[in-house]
C-alpha cells in the first residue's frame, strides 16, 4: 500500500512501542501543545483539537498520513509528519535510566 507507515514486513514499526509513545516528553516537539481546558490538557497538534494519541491509534489501526488528512479537516501534513518523526527519534534513544 503506497504511503503506508509500515515496514517491509507489514508491521507498524512502533506498534510494540505504542505504550511508550504516550510517555514521551512531548514538550520537546514544536508541532504540539498542551493547553489546560483544551481537550482536557491532552497533547494536541498545535492550533487544533487533534490529540497526538489519535494519530497513533489510527496508524496502529492501519491508517496512513493520506488517510488522516482525508478524515480529519484542518490537519497540517507537516505537523503530522513532525509528530511521527519525533516519536520515532525518541523511541530510538536509549533510556536514561536502567529498568
| pLDDT > 60? residue 11 | no
Task: List the domain range (segments joined by +) for residue 46.
Answer: 15-92
pTM: 0.71
The number of domains in the chain is 1
Residue 8 forms part of a structural domain: no
Tell me whether residue 99 is in a domain. Answer: no
Predicted confidence (pLDDT) at residue 94 exceeds the cutoff of 90 = no
- Render 33-71 in DSSP notation, one character per residue: E--TTSGGG--EETTS--BHHHHHHHHHTT--HHHHHHH
CATH number at 78 reads 1.10.10.10
Model confidence at 4: pLDDT above 50: no
Query: Quick check: is 36 in a domain?
Result: yes
pLDDT in tens, 44-55: 999 999 999 999
Domain annotation covers residue 1: no
Indicate whether 78 belongs to any domain.
Answer: yes
**Residue 2 is assigned to a structural domain of this protein:** no
Amino acid at each position: 500500500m503506497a504511503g503506508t507507515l509500515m515496514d517491509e514486513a507489514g508491521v507498524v514499526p512502533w506498534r510494540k512501542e505504542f505504550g511508550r509513545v504516550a510517555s514521551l516528553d512531548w514538550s520537546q516537539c514544536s508541532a504540539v501543545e498542551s493547553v489546560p481546558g483544551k481537550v482536557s490538557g491532552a497533547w494536541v497538534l498545535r492550533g487544533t483539537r487533534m490529540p497526538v494519541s489519535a494519530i497513533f491509534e489510527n496508524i496502529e489501526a492501519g491508517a496512513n498520513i493520506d488517510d488522516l488528512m482525508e478524515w480529519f479537516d484542518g490537519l497540517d501534513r507537516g505537523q503530522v509528519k513532525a509528530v511521527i518523526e519525533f516519536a520515532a527519534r525518541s523511541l530510538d534513544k536509549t533510556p536514561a535510566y536502567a529498568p
